[in-house]
Amino acid sequence: MIFKLPYISIQKYADHKDWAIRETTCFSILSGLKKRPEMILNYCDKWIINKNKNIRRLVSESLRPNSQIKWTRNQSKNDKILNLLLC
């Protein structure tokens, strides 16, 4: 099964007026990082420079080291994440 990310929908929900919806949008990113990390990181690369603070927050919250996604905690594999967050 090919994982497809609804890019526009995630942006819409990341900026939703309801805080709970904004918070749960992170789970879409986390799911994508498990299945298609390169694709998701490319999206995050675009979102991290978005003018909308909620979309930027989605990226920063989603890219925190996570026990379910082991490579995000591995210093030798998480360079792309650190570079995104430092921009």
Domain assignment present for residue 15? The answer is: yes
Domain assignment present for residue 73? The answer is: yes
The b-or-e profile of 39-77 (16+ CB within 10 A means b, else e) is ebbebbeebbebeeebbbbbbeebbeeeeebeebeeeee
For residue 58, the model assigns a pLDDT of 94
Q: Which domain holds residue 51?
A: 7-86
d(CA 65, CA 11): 22
Q: pLDDT band at 8, cuts 50/70/90? A: confident
d(CA 19, CA 65): 22
Domain assignment present for residue 77? The answer is: yes
Burial of 81: CB neighbours in 10 Å, binned 0-12, 13-18, 19+: buried
For residue 1, the model assigns a pLDDT of 38
Domain assignment present for residue 1? The answer is: no
0.75 exceeded by pTM: yes
